[in-house]
Structure formats: structure tokens, C-alpha cells
Amino acid sequence: MLAAAGSPALRAGVERVPLTRSVVRRFVPGDDLAAALGAVRTLGESGLTVSLDHLGEDTTSAADASATVDSYRALLAALSEAGLTAAAEVSVKLTALGLSLPDGRRRALDNARLVAAAARAAGTAVTVDMEDHTVTDAILETVLELRQDFPDTAAVLQAYLRRTAADCRVFAGPGSRVRLCKGAYDEPADVAFSTRGDVDRSYVECLGILMAGQGRPLVATHDPRLIAIADALAVRNGRVPADWEYQLLYGVRPAEQRRLVEHGFAVRVYLPYGDQWWGYLMRRLAERPANMAFFLRALATRG
Ligand code: FDA
């Protein structure tokens, strides 16, 4: 699945099958702004906040990177106009903002500043998603530069990387928003833990560092054991629900999302929208064999 995420031929084949859409809709509520705003409102009725991702990654031209900035500006303006920015922030991928282009570092930073400025004008903030390990340093350094002007910019750290406990110590300072996830890319064994047990142990160690720190941990997982451990670590560190939050993906364990809200926790749903859903969908299918079966069944039924 993770290899398929990078295959243009497979992508073209699957996109030609219209019913693929119904599978996509489980994880991506729609292609356009109206669908995204509708989902924000619906989730808001259950007390859920959101982080919106305008889908796209690995942009190969400066014009596409600028178009991504324009999409985020339009999104933030629409959220503001609809009075939804108290409950909604945005997540951006630096490769969608041009990080892989020849002058990528400078371009991605400049474009990220434009998105962060639009977020501030709308009364909200940005999270910079984490991508594969070849760009970890570039992304974290860019977040630190962005934070000079936009201190509420959140970083994302992946527990499967062997380096991440050390990164958590760097990012656990006052006011620092840090999303901790397991990690979704196919990484070599010298940079990432490969067994579930090792990844989970690393997640708990990293969470311990963030909860004991002075920042705002954003606990991104659907794993029931880790969800329970986060609550216990928060209590042990004297944190109240306003000091940290759970984050889950749109369409994954929706009943758990509502249960956590009902128990008084702050819960944010990662909400992707747009027509560039291929890479995102492949990562979600790779996470769970049952999702893959669901996807293949939908394709077979159509065929
Ligand atoms: P795990 O995969 O062990 O799943 C635990 C349980 O959750 C499963 O048994 C199943 O019940 C359920 N579950 C998990 N994934 C599911 C799915 N796709 N469909 C249905 N059920 C599922 N990664 C990254 O590299 N960079 C990033 O920036 C982000 N950002 C991010 C934001 C948010 C809010 C979340 C929740 C996740 C991310 N991720 C991410 C993805 C993350 O790294 C990881 O791949 C997934 O969250 C799956 O890991 P879990 O912690 O959920 O555990």
C-alpha cells in the first residue's frame, strides 16, 4: 500500500472506477470547500474541533505550490466568514508547499508563512504535518523558523523514528504545541522501529516527555491502550483537559471520538478534503487490513 501510494499508473487506474468514491468518502468527506465546511459543522455538533488538511503532497512545480497556498487562504477566509475558526485550525504539508523543488527550503518556508499569516488573520493556527524521514530535519527546522513569528505553529513528531524521544525534549518547551503520532511512512530499520511493541514503547516514552514538559501535547492515536495511557500521564503530571488534546482521523473510530468528548476531553479530528486523496487513502488502507478488504470489495462489486 505504501509503495502504491507513489504509483501514478495504479492511481490513474483506481481513479477511473467511480465507486472508489464511496470508499474514499469514509476518510475524506468531499472534494470542495463546501463539503469541508459541512463536515466541520457536523463534527462541531458533537463537540469535536478539527484540523483541516487541503489534500496534496509532493508538489512538483512552483505554480502548484502557490495554488496550495491560495487554497488554504480560501479555506481560512471561508472558516472565518462562517464563524468556525474557534473550532478549526489547518494542517499543511511542506512538500505541498514546494519543499521538494530545487529551492525547496526557502520556498516552503515562504509559503508556510503566507498560510500562517492567513491563519492568524482568521483567528486560528497551523500544524505542520510530518512526512517521510528524508525531510524530518527540513520540516522541524522550518517549524522552528516559523515559530519566531507564529509561536502557536504546531510540530508533528513520529514515535516510530529512533530520534523522536530526543526531538520531544527539544520541542517540550513553554507553549509548544506538539502532535505525537506513531508514523505512517515505510521507513528503513536504521531510522525507525519496525515492531509494533517497539513503536508503542517509544510512543509512551515520548508522551511521558511531552506531558511532563511545558507545551501542549496533541495525542494523535486511535490505539485504545495509548489513549488510556495518555489520560493517566496527564493526571500524573497535573494536567487538566484544557492543557492537552486527543486527535483522531476523520472516519476512524467515530464512536470513540464522541465518547472522549462526553468524558470531558478536548478532541480534534483531522479532516482532509480535496481531490488529491490518493496518497492519504493508501496510508489509511496500509494501517489496517480490514480497510483494504473494504476497498477491494467496493472495487470488485463495481467491476
Ligand atoms: P494503530 O495503527 O496501532 O491502530 C490502533 C487501532 O486504531 C487499530 O487497531 C484500529 O482499531 C484503529 N485504527 C487505526 N488506524 C485505522 C484506520 N486507518 N482505519 C480504521 N481503524 C484504524 N502520520 C504521519 O506520519 N504524519 C502526520 O503528520 C500524521 N498526522 C496524524 C494526525 C492525526 C490526528 C492522526 C490520528 C494520525 C496522524 N498520522 C500521521 C498517522 C499516524 O502516524 C498513524 O499512522 C495512524 O494514526 C495509525 O496509528 P494509531 O496510533 O492509530 O495506532
pLDDT in tens, the chain (303 residues): 667 666 766 666 665 555 467 778 889 998 899 999 999 999 999 999 999 999 988 888 999 999 999 999 999 999 999 999 999 999 999 999 999 999 999 999 999 999 999 999 999 999 999 999 999 999 999 999 999 999 999 999 999 999 999 999 999 999 999 999 999 999 999 999 999 999 999 999 999 999 999 999 999 999 999 999 999 999 999 999 999 999 999 999 999 999 999 999 999 999 999 988 888 888 888 888 777 777 777 666 543
Give the C-alpha distances (Å, rounded to integers) separating 168 from 131, 158, 189, 244: 17, 10, 20, 15
Question: How many angstroms separate the first and last alpha carbons of the chain?
Answer: 21
What pLDDT score does 189 carry? Answer: 96
* Ligand 1 atom at minimum distance from 129 CA: 28
> What does the pLDDT read at residue 98?
97
Q: What is the pLDDT of residue 44?
A: 97
- Active-site residue, 236 included: no
Q: Which residues contact 148 (CB under 8 A, 6 or more apart)?
A: none
Assess whether the C-beta atom of 186 lies below 6 angstroms from ligand 1.
Answer: no
**What pLDDT shows up at residue 214?**
98
pTM of the model: 0.93
Among 93, 161, 223, 280, the mutation site with the greatest number of ligand 1 atoms within 8 A of its Cβ is 223
Is 270 a pocket residue for ligand 1 (Cβ < 6 Å)? yes
Positive or negative, the Cα torsion across 166, 172, 178, 181?
positive
What pLDDT shows up at residue 19? 44
CA dihedral 134, 174, 177, 259 (to 10 degrees): 140
Cβ of 181 below 6 Å from ligand 1: yes
- The ligand 1 atom at the shortest distance from the C-alpha of residue 199 is 3
